[in-house]
Amino acid sequence: MRWVTYQSSTGVARAGAVVDDVVHGLDATLVEILDELDDAGAHATTSPVERVPYAEARLLSPIPHPPSIRDFYAFEQHVKTARERRGLDMDPDWYELPVFYFTNPHVVRATGDDVAIPSGCVWMDYELEVAAVLGQGGENLTPDEGEAAIAGFVVMNDWSARDIQAREMKQGLGPAKGKDFATSLGPFLVTPDEIAGRKRGKAHDLTMTARVNGVEYSRGNLSDVFWSFGEMIAYASRDSRVGPGDVIGSGTVGTGCILELSLVHGGDAYPWLKPGDVVDLEVDGLGVLTNTIVGP
């Protein structure tokens, strides 16, 4: 089933099941029902609080305020290209450790929202990803338990201020203000059963594309991921805890950002984003996440 969070006619955020282009609203938020989406879906379709045409719904991010967002680095092509252009080989530990960083859950954006270029940034970039949203929590999970904890999947845009990020990361602590301004999630939360038939390798056979002003920039496939979501979740929970509503980002698919494209093809072919640009990230079965770039 496809789920959204939308602003109801009374102005509150509600979970809604999308069936036949109609949002069937519930008197609950999506985070509150993540561990019971099957029962909630049946209730929404038979006894909704309201029905709203999808085209008229004011969509919020499916998880507007995640408890946490961990973004991984799980596509080998993306990592290898970035390292090769800096004269670096792949670090052997990348194949042993599904590394991630925490980003800011307070700056989540929805499809249709404007995204402002952060102050001082000239190299504004998108990053084409898929994220898993957890419906259950736990500690020291196995990969199978991690997979079973997934409530659904969303398209994710891990926006990057590349010039700021490059300066910060020389200090050895990872990204900070180069990331700390926006992460887009949406438009739907799609439950695992919707894409179960497309399982391939460690993930799913889902084409991932990015377009800027209608022109295709990026094309990849979720099945190319090196680490499964179950493995990522297990690593995140090791000696720690994950919880319902936590977002687990895949990292950028190969070719899935302007930085990588410009390293391979040159900056003239793929210029950095500027005010007025419209960025569409599309993943088969998960929908299209659209944002417009505005000035600082």
Pair (86, 226) in one structural domain: yes
Q: Judge if 50 and 98 occupy the same domain.
A: no
pLDDT at 86 over 80: no
Evaluate whether 59 touches 184 at the Cβ level (below 8 Å).
no
- Indicate whether 201 and 115 sit together in one domain: yes
Per-residue pLDDT of 188-221, as tens digits, reads 999 999 999 999 999 999 999 999 999 999 999 9
Q: Which two tokens stand for residue 155?
A: 């398209």
Tell me, yes or no, whether 178 and 246 share the same domain: yes
Count of domains in the chain? 2
Looking at the fold, whether 216 and 100 belong to one and the same domain comes out as yes
Last residue of a domain, one of 60, 94, 109: 60
Query: Is pLDDT above 90 for 69?
Result: yes
pLDDT of residue 88: 87
Regarding whether 92 and 44 lie in a shared domain, the answer is no
Tens digits of residue pLDDT in 129-179: 999 999 999 999 999 999 999 999 999 999 999 999 999 999 988 889 999
Which among 70, 81, 71 is positioned nearest to 259, based on CA atoms?
81
Q: Is the pTM of this model over 0.85?
A: yes
**Average pLDDT over all residues of the chain:** 96
Looking at residue 285, which CATH number applies to its domain? 3.90.850.10
- Determine what percent of the chain is predicted with pLDDT higher than 90: 92
pLDDT score recorded for residue 87: 83
Q: At residue 281, does pLDDT exceed 90?
A: yes
Among 60, 78, 104, the domain boundary falls at 60
CA pair distance 58, 54, nearest whole angstrom: 9
**pLDDT at site 162:** 96
pLDDT in the model for residue 146: 98
* Half-sphere exposure for 219 (CA within 13 Å, toward CB): 2
Together in a domain, 139 and 251:
yes
Is the omega angle on the peptide bond into residue 271 within 30 degrees of 0, that is, cis? Answer: no
pLDDT at 224 exceeding the cut of 80: yes
Residue finishing a domain among 40, 60, 80: 60
Task: Measure the CA–CA gap between 250 and 156, rounded to whole angstroms.
Answer: 9
pLDDT at residue 82, rounded to an integer: 82
CA dist 216 and 46 (Å) reads 40
Range of the domain at 150: 69-294
Task: Give the per-residue SS3 of the chain.
Answer: CEEEEEECCCCCEEEEEEECCEEEECCCCCHHHHHHHHHHHHHHHHCCCEEEEHHHCEEECCCCCCCCEEEECCCHHHHHHHHHCCCCCCCHHHHCCCCEEEECHHHEECCCCEEECCCCCCCEECCEEEEEEECCCECCCCHHHHHHCEEEEEEEECCEEHHHHHHHHCCCCCCCCCCCCCEEEEEEEECHHHCHHHEECCEECCEEEEEECCEEEEEEEHHHCCCCHHHHHHHHHCCCCECCCCEEECCCCCCCCHHHHHHHHCCCCCCCECCCCEEEEEECCCEEEEEEEECC
Mean pLDDT of 54-61: 97
- Are both 56 and 73 inside the same structural domain? no
One domain, residues 222 and 151: yes
Instruction: Tell whether 133 and 224 lie within a shared domain.
Output: yes
* Average pLDDT of span 39-43: 96
pLDDT tens, 19-29?
999 999 999 99
Domain co-membership, 121 together with 17: no
Please work out, in degrees rounded to the nearest 5, the angle formed at the alpha carbon of residue 72 by the alpha carbons of 206 and 29: 75
Where does residue 236 fall: left (phi above 0), alpha (psi -120 to 50 degrees), or beta otherwise? Answer: alpha
Question: Is the pLDDT assigned to residue 85 strictly greater than 80?
Answer: no
Alpha-carbon span 282 to 267, nearest angstrom? 23
Question: Looking at the structure, do residues 257 and 112 belong to the same domain, yes or no?
Answer: yes
Provide CB contacts within 8 A for 79, sequence distance 6+: 73, 90, 94
